[in-house]
A and B are shown apart, each in its own frame.
Chain A
Amino acid sequence: MTPRSRDKENARIGRDVQAKIGRQLRAMYAELIKQQLPENLRELVRRLSVAPQRP
């Protein structure tokens, strides 16, 4: 492998790695978004939902 083709290969691997990190971060975030809200937040949301004015 020539130095130039090695650089290209390294750049390709770098892009693949970064894409992989991106997928992992998005998957982690999506998992967090899917979590059920805890009771104290649900209660706050309920309060705000039924009384759309300043608490």
Chain B
Amino acid sequence: MNTANTAWAHEAILAEVPKLRAFAISLCGNLDQADDFVQETLLRAWTHIDQFQRGTNMAAWLFTILRNSLRSNYRKYRREIEDADGSYAERMITHPEQNGRLEFEELRGALAKLPSDQRETLILVVASGASYEEAAEICGCRVGTIKSRVHRARARLAQILAIDSVDDFAPDRTTQAVLRGAAG
């Protein structure tokens, strides 16, 4: 890779850092571990930048590295997910509303109960907005498998959260409280 391409790749890698970190936190549920995984991913990507083909999908390449790293260490952080005490949600400084934090915790707890393949697929496709094709590339499986995982994950999440109607689920509890306050 020549100097201009290397500079371009460098910028493209750095632009993905916040998204990589969001993905890592969503999957492993521990801020410090997530940051370690992101750091490892950045260093690995930078070390192997020659393997990246310009014109292909940089985000997918980086997410693949991160995802493989997370999966190979799954046993290490699995316990953290299952026993997570919400400490990272406490550190989410943009969640001042108590109701918002509780809802965030409910969602995070429900995500932790999903099988890991469904969790990562749901985060990729629904939360991060990756296409089915991109998610299939990142997860190393077929598009049909991704679609199936997303479908099952959505259904399971609704079941775990015991959502029988839209009114049961949440940020609207916050919204409704605000509206009640404004009305009163």
Contact = CB atoms under 8 A, between A and B. Distances in A.
Contacts of B161: 21
Given A21-B157, A48-B10, A29 B39 contact: no
A29 B123 contact: yes
Interface of B: 6-7, 10, 13-14, 17-19, 21-22, 25-26, 31, 35, 38-39, 42-43, 46-47, 49, 92-95, 103-104, 107-108, 122-123, 126-129, 154, 157-158, 161, 163-166, 169-171
Interface in A5-55: 13, 16-18, 20-29, 31-35, 37-38, 40-41, 44-45, 48-49, 52-55
B21 A13 contact: no
A41 B38 contact: yes
Interface of A: 13, 16-18, 20-29, 31-35, 37-38, 40-41, 44-45, 48-49, 52-55
A13 B42 contact: no
Contact of A35 (B43, B92, B165, B171): B92
B22 A54 contact: no
A21 B127 contact: no
